[in-house]
Amino acid sequence: QMSVTPPDQRRFLAEFVGWWRPVHVSQGTADSPRKAILRWAGDAGGEKDRRELESDELLIKQDVPYSEAYQGSVSSRFCLVPRGKSAWSSRFFRVLFAGCVPVLLNDYYEPPFEAFLNVPEWLIKWPMRRVDDGLLNFLRSLFVRTLQSMLERLKRDRCWYVWPPSALDYEQIDLQKGKLDAACPEWRTQNAFFGVMRLLNRKRRRSKTSFGTFYVPAGSSGRAHYVDENFEPVLK
């Protein structure tokens, strides 16, 4: 269930709970966005040293239990999702249900389902090599009503990122008992599986062997002529 604490009542401006990770060598020698975030928590020690910051505006921690990490997300107006060392981010999906506006700090990450979801309506994508006080100043400048509008749109789309377990999985029993109904009332038809199928359906093509294709000999050569059920050509 998404946290119901409104953004203007949240303690922190932004949060990040995670480890320092360098960017991949193919992306140059610039600092990792995670390193830039952790720099706000102090300049002493090496990049990999444990750093924590809990100020009036920022919550930054490393290596804490999942429950504590989630408490940071539900207590913040913005959740930072920086580039790590992998091509995907479980954090991106987790914070969608924390009631914070996600801030993506990864130039190379394409959020799933942008083909049919208006992701920029609820996601901020900021250059990952510009993680500095300019980012914080921008986040401070956003009106509360802007955040509320973004969160409403996020609530509309978030369940497309829920992947229901297999019918053979024990957790399917909990789903049928209504485990997801409060957070995702339409989860049976609005989920990641249906999202993937929706994208694949767009790529479907009519082939010589598809159900809607028929063929008859044409002309004196007798070459096959491919038509649909209305005898309109489907292949040249």
94 in Cβ contact with 162 (< 8 Å): no
Residue type, 69: A
pLDDT at 135: 96
pTM listed for this prediction: 0.79
pLDDT at 121: 96
**Terminal CA-CA length for the chain:** 52
Cα distances (angstroms) measured from residue 211 to each of 129, 144, 167, 168, 223:
51, 53, 28, 31, 20
Distance CA 226, CA 60 (A): 63
Residue 199 CB neighbour total at 10 angstroms: 13
Provide block-wise average pLDDT over 10 residues at a time, the chain (236 residues): 78 88 63 84 54 79 79 93 77 93 93 95 94 95 96 96 76 73 89 94 70 81 83 76
219 in Cβ contact with 190 (< 8 Å): no
pLDDT at 50: 54
